[in-house]
Amino acid sequence: MEFLPESIIKVMEELGRLPGVGPKSAQRLTFHLLKQADGHLMSLGDAISNVRNGVVRCKECFCLSSQEVCKICENVLRDRSKLCVVESTLDLIAIERTGEYKGLYHILQGKISPLNGIGPEELRMAELFSRVTNEENPIKEVILALNPDLEGDTTALFLHKKLSTFQALQVTRIARGIPSGGNLEYSDDATLIRAMQGRQLLS
């Protein structure tokens, strides 16, 4: 590729750093961009440069938001007795896309992974337990919508053990409509709907 201009090689290298984008995909994307009008490239560049501007974490659920409390948490029509625990904003988006779930969320911002040095203290677990014990907004059901891999199972077991100490709290986990080792964000809507409808009481 030495024969290509440095600017093109640089774009291919940067695109290749993105998750799910291999060398060939980066090459195709770069040459697609070369065909675009200057105005479109400037608009794309500005959007990327400003992607973090005005983005904060919701103080309630820790979803990415443009305001202190996200639109889901401030929506009075949501079922405030249900709390769905997910790993990331991408998982929240996947569940919201189905239109099946009408409760609130809590984003852990990861999962327990001892090999990567991530324990309960590095996640938003203290805030979760605080929400569950808040008498002003009593939670009746906590739904563990964690990815069905080793770390997700470990996190679910840890949370179940802790949450089972709270009386009158039902702890469920979404059904295994998600294949083992799969990710919520890549699951189709029908699979996610079946998983939410078939959630099971953890015992």
Domain residues of the chain, as ranges?
6-49, 77-201
198 pLDDT band, cuts 50/70/90, is: confident
Q: What letters, b where the CB count within 10 A reaches 16 and e where it falls short, cover 41-67?
A: eeeeeeeeeeeeeeeebbebbbbbbee
Q: Does residue 201 carry a pLDDT above 80?
A: no
Instruction: In the chain, count H helices and then E strands.
Output: 8, 7
- Fold assignment, 6-49: Helicase, Ruva Protein; domain 3 (1.10.8)
Write the pLDDT tens digit of every residue in 130-157.
999 888 888 999 999 998 888 999 999 9
- The listed range with the strongest mean pLDDT (136-140, 183-187, 189-193) is 136-140
- What whole-number distance in Å separates Cα of residue 183 and Cα of residue 200? 19
Write the pLDDT tens digit of every residue in 112-129.
999 899 999 999 999 999
- Residue 99 Rama label (left phi>0; alpha psi -120 to 50; beta): left
Q: What letters, b where the CB count within 10 A reaches 16 and e where it falls short, cover 101-113?
A: bebbbbbbbebbb
- Residue 185: strand pairing partners: none
pTM of the model: 0.78
Q: Does residue 41 carry a pLDDT above 80?
A: yes
Q: Which residues, at least 6 apart from 18, have a Cβ–Cβ distance to it below 8 Å?
A: 26
pLDDT of residue 150: 87
- Fold assignment, 77-201: Dna Topoisomerase Vi A Subunit; Chain: A, domain 2 (3.40.1360)
Axis-axis angle for helices 150-163, 125-132 (nearest 10): 40
Write the pLDDT tens digit of every residue in 56-96.
999 999 999 999 999 999 999 999 999 999 999 999 999 99
- What whole-number distance in Å separates Cα of residue 163 and Cα of residue 152? 16
